[in-house]
A and B are shown apart, each in its own frame.
Chain A
């Protein structure tokens, strides 16, 4: 499957804002997308367990992905 990864704020500064297209095996989870992302330059900026969203909803590393999903890795939010 192919998923699209978005990055924001300090993560975007380190890795580029994306979208990054990742090719993942069937049955992949958000953790697998994160592992693939860690191969890229700048990935040392990502913490061990970044917050993430799948298709614009809060999700976890265990969230199963489907072809075409939008996965976003989100720094700690700082609105307000």
Chain B
């Protein structure tokens, strides 16, 4: 049930992602793109390092694409998540879905992004205007305190 889901280091190209799922019976094309935001919990953000448990993250992305296609028959789903250092406005995640009808396309697209948020082992470390960098705690959305030095 593994589908078209990948971890990438190069920029995500929306048109290229949509082209992976477009076909003549697809009257609906839905897409979601996540981009680096310039603030988080009131702090100015200059960029984000995305890190992953790479083989597992790639497998989970592929599994999510496959599960979406299985759950919405007729859907074609492509998912990409970028890792590395991204600046404000750069795309971190992209989902493209086609289906003959819009309801299923929207639903499968929403399913994919929510699944990515909960089960793909990817983390982000925000860069702040004061020069500090902190890992983001997914539960609260807030940065986690830096650990004490080892040793």
Interfacial residues, chain A to chain B (CB-CB below 8 A): 6, 8-10, 13-16, 41-42, 44-45, 53, 56-58, 72, 74-80
Contact = CB atoms under 8 A, between A and B. Distances in A.
- Majority secondary structure, B binding face: mixed
A76 B150 contact: no
Contacts, number: 86
Given A8-B51, A53-B121, A13 B135 contact: yes
B137 interface: yes
Nearest to B150: A42
A79 B48 CA distance: 11
Contact of B92 (A53, A75, A80): A80
Nearest to B117: A80
Contacts of B116: 79-80
Contacts of A58: 119
Nearest to A57: B56
Nearest to B55: A56
A59 B84 CA distance: 26
Interface of B: 34, 50-53, 55-57, 59, 81, 92-93, 113, 116-125, 135-139, 144, 146-148, 150-151
Given A8-B53, A14-B148, A79-B52, 19 more contacts: A6-B53, A8-B121, A9-B123, A41-B150, A42-B150, A45-B147, A53-B121, A56-B59, A74-B53, A74-B121, A77-B122, A78-B122, A78-B123, A78-B138, A79-B50, A79-B81, A79-B93, A79-B121, A80-B81
Contacts of A13: 135, 146-147
